[in-house]
Structure 1
């Protein structure tokens, strides 16, 4: 039976692998044994076949490279993948810590047809991850100056022929409320933050856990928290009606992560070494 908390952790195997690499792979250029990765995905209900397909798709997307050494197969992250993880680190670590007014907005327009569906999907995924809201067909908006970051992404994906990026200044004479409500569902964001805090608050207190339980619990929490980057635009305080719920969730996240990260990372290293 599905519960209200099920959507806090709703991961596909490729996304889950990237979260795990970002959290536990040190250095990020290190090779990782495929057998360990298959076992790890098994913890979250994915079959061996599904795990191997996920790894193959990371290679197809140029996010990982496959290597063979004797009887064993290893994967390493590509430069593009490392760049995406570093960008994600910055986004997650700074969530809720960008004070100030929305002096400069970023508007992004794209025209990527179905023949370039993969590029469009990758581009839109990253726009959402940086808190962009969907304004209308092919047009996205952020209350932050993300021109440099989006420009880098456009160059990385090779889609400069189909994208335009603008800096915009809001007019103080026009109420922003209707636009904010169109771009982001802040009541839903606040409720999701509250459910996250309630679910993971018990992890801030001492508790005995096996290495596997620490790894699974930490990974689920990381994946759940990472999803806030897709829905939280980090608006200035006067518009951020969800700010209080966010502060509570961030406090729970950081304290729980301090308790769980090291045993989880140790279990990851044990599983992925041969």
Structure 2
């Protein structure tokens, strides 16, 4: 039986729109890729059943992910095995630094400003700038902390270096990114997972399965916030910014859950050739 803190997390999950496909991608990127990348559908279904996601929903999500190029399937007899396709591996690889980095960026050194014209390539450049972490200060004006790489799709745009005092920098950041929304998401994360950390710190133990559930839901929730956060230096953020506390909680809770959750994978994870291989050393380096 899950602890009260974990039950509350699961109840919160059920109140949200269905994100089965996103949980699956989290599970693969966080737990399966470090162990070779392939997983039997039966292992995946057994886990998803524990959070009340049924076979029909799983099949629909897996079909969608395969059709969209996120997963690729192989078969051994009647058993199906899935691994992240090139698109999924590359996306998670590029996101890894954001997800598992334990340290905020150093104080800012100014801004990169990119001015887009009205040519036919503007939409592609706009999308590329958003994906690279730029914010929109005004129509056609994109901004990021100094040193942010300009994506190739915007390489022909006019680029300027800018400096600002702390107050002006914070006003520009608040204008360019939805920082209020991001702060609210961090506070919800702290409220959802703080009680679980407190329970574990007080000596409460989770089963191996519950540890794995909590770990995947932790990274699922964290990933959805951190990949939308521009990860600005502290001097550009409001003084009461909750991101640092959320990052510290996530790091601490992740390493509390990791040993038991890995034991569940040892016992239940299956690939085409047998049990999942042991994880690589990068697993222990996360949030360090």
Same topology, TM > 0.5:
yes
- 1:170 and 2:167 are equivalent in the alignment: no
Counterparts of 1:108 and 1:67 in 2: how far apart (Å)?
Answer: 47
* Structure 2 CA distance for aligned equivalents of residues 61 and 138 of structure 1: 31
Residue 232 (1) aligns with residue 229 (2): yes
| Unaligned segments of structure 2, at least 5 residues | 1-7, 275-288
| Partner residue of 1:59 out of 55, 61, 66 | 66
- Which entry has the higher C-alpha Rg, 1 or 2? 2
Question: TM-score, structure 1 length as denominator?
Answer: 0.74
Written as runs of structure 1 = structure 2, the 5 A alignment for 1:188-267 is 188-204=181-197, 205=201, 206-241=203-238, 244-267=241-264
Distance 2:112 2:179 in 1: 18
Instruction: Judge conservation of contact 2:193–2:218 (CA < 8 Å) in 1.
Output: yes
1:147 pairs with 2:154:
no
- Compute the displacement of 1:170 (Å): 2.2
TM-score (norm 2): 0.70
TM superposition shift of 1:241: 0.9
Q: 2:278 maps to which residue?
A: none
Indicate the residue corresponding to 2:28 in structure 1: 21
Instruction: State the Cα deviation string for residues 39-91 of structure 1 (Å, max 9, x = none).
Output: 32333333212211211222222222110111211112223322222211111
Give the 3-state SS of the residue equivalent to 1:92 in structure 2: helix
Contact 1:184/1:231, CA 8 A, preserved across alignment: no
Mark the CA change 1:127 to 1:210 in structure 2 (over 3 Å): closer, same or farther.
farther
Are 2:76 and 1:74 equivalent residues in the alignment?
A: no
Q: Greater CA deviation, 46-55 or 178-187?
A: 178-187
Q: How far has the Cα of 1:226 moved from its partner? A: 1.3
CA 1:231 to 1:71, structure 2 compared with 1: closer, same or farther past 3 Å?
closer
Q: Note the alpha carbon deviations across 1:148-183, whole angstroms, 9 max, x for none.
A: 6x44xxxxxxxxxxx324554225499445542233
